[in-house]
Chain A
Amino acid sequence: MWENRCKVAVSGVGFSTITRSAEIPLAAHALQAVNAAVEDSGLAMSDIDGLATYAELPATGHAIVDGISIVSVNCMMAMLKLPNLSWHVQVETVNIGGAVQQAVNALLAGVCKYAVVWRAMHNPRGTYQNLPGTYAQGAAQFTAPYGFGGRGQGMAVAYTRWLERHNQKREKMATLAVTQRKYANKNPHAYFYKTPLTREDYLNSRMVAYPFCLYDCDIPVQGAVAIVLTTAERARDLKPRPAYLAGYGQRLAFEVAGRIGSLSSYMEGGSSSARLTWERSHPRRRHGHL
């Protein structure tokens, strides 16, 4: 078990409006989410002294403009001008989970008391994957000339490997998409809140990059979500019932950029992340001895 199990809690959640594509600058969504999260916690904005995000623009080939297509920590600082700000970070790897982990660590280290973490995602109007380049630089020089333009195709080859090497069927993936949609149908903040998905819908949908069909892909939207994190002790005095953080674990695979197709690298990254999370969060297992 991790010695810091349940010593940090989520004490506020906020959602922005979500639109199919960009109508207002992304900074407005992020601000809306952060305001809502702080209001949910019962804190005053001036109590917030930590900020963290993962700002990456998921759509490739579009201009990165702070406040419009990403919302950096610096952008949020400029909007909020927090009088007690004492810690902030912006992570580049392991997605928004990395920013949450850093905020947890900062709270445990005592360098801030109330941290806000947000994820703001931009969906540009027009083509999501804008791939007009004449040249293929870096790791892409071995993939892009063959039509491996987007990230999805790199995942598709690992998926094909699983299907054909392990004698699997696409029907199994229908279960994943349909189950996730059922959860979305229970979440009023979800874009697909009122849109059901059946196995038949899934199996009859058009192919995008075999073996991925339309409903294997997530739908790009524009919006933001924020949470307030604090220590378990402080969380007791706040308005919402705290959701304690039992543990976390996230690790990339040992894989060279541009080497695509390996199923085992996905398995290795995923299983090591799951193992770390389980070891840390399980009350009766010692960390590192599972």
Chain B
Amino acid sequence: MTISDWSQVTRPIPVPNEWTKPFWEAAKQGVLALQRGRSCGHFQHPPYATCVNCISTDLTFEPIAGQGTIYSYTIMYHAGDKRFAAAIPYASIIVELDAAKGALLAGNLLDSPYTEAKVGRRVEVVFQKLNDDITLPQFRLVKD
């Protein structure tokens, strides 16, 4: 099975805003940092105006370990999105980190055939530089 070819893909570039800036600042440094409510300690992703656990607005960002499992995935076969047409078929995955249950991060399954995407498989974060400002957290399978 072949590995999806991402070399011709033009990924849309994230535009950080008030809520999300610390996430992207950390990623640029090769650190995965998620939003966390100070009152109850709940980690969440994507960032939001309030803690989704306790409605507190006292929020911060903290580094978190990048190991987790594939929560779910989809394999894209349709070339409708021209930016990604060169990579089909490819796996877009959702990852749940061990240290942040309920926080769901999107990514691609890098360095493995897309057929290796399965719910429950172990993955770890890797960082993919898009440009000088933006680095994407991505995921690859953890070798047993």
Residues of chain A at the chain B interface (Cβ within 8 Å): 127-129, 131-150, 153, 156-158, 160-161, 164-165, 206-212, 256-262
A131-B82, A256-B52 given as contacts; is B72 within 8 A of A145 (CB)? no
How far apart are the CA atoms of A211 and B118 in the complex, in Å? 12
Compute how far the CA of A81 lies from the CA of B72 in the bound complex, rounded to whole angstroms.
51
User: Is the beta-carbon distance between A136 and B15 smaller than 8 angstroms?
Assistant: yes
Known: A129-B80, A141-B14. A146 touches B75 (CB 8 A): no
In the complex, chain B residues whose CB is within 8 Å of the CB of A212: 74
Verify B15–A141 contact, CB threshold 8 A.
Answer: yes
Contacts of B132 in A (CB 8 A): none
List chain A residues, Cβ under 8 A from B15: 135-137, 141
User: How many A-B Cβ pairs are below 8 Å?
Assistant: 128
What residues of chain A lie closer than 8 Å to B20, measured between beta carbons?
A: 141-142
Please, which residues of chain A bring their CB within 8 A of the CB of B61?
none
B71, B75, B90: the one within 8 Å of A261 (CB): B71
Identify A157's interface contact among B78, B94, B136, CB under 8 A. B94
Q: Find out whether the CB atom of B16 lies under 8 angstroms from the CB atom of A141.
A: yes
Total interface residues on B, CB under 8 Å, equals 45
Minimum CB–CB distance for B126 against chain A, Å: 13
Could you say which residues of chain B place their CB within 8 Å of the CB of A128? 80
Question: A129 CA to B83 CA in the complex, in Å?
Answer: 12
Residues of B within 8 A of A153 (CB): 74, 76, 92
Assembly CA distance A157 to B109 (angstroms) = 14
Partner of A164 from the list B13, B17, B76, B119 (CB cut-off 8 Å) is B119
B77 near A206 with CB under 8 A, answer yes
- A208 and B130 in contact (CB under 8 A), knowing A145-B14, A149-B84? no
| Inter-subunit contact A164/B118 (CB<8 Å) | yes
A interface footprint on B101-122 (CB within 8 Å = 1, 0 otherwise): 0001111100000000011100
In the bound assembly, the distance between CA atoms of A164 and B46 in angstroms comes to 24
- Which residues on B sit within 8 Å (CB–CB) of A158? 72
Smallest CB gap from B117: residue in A: A160
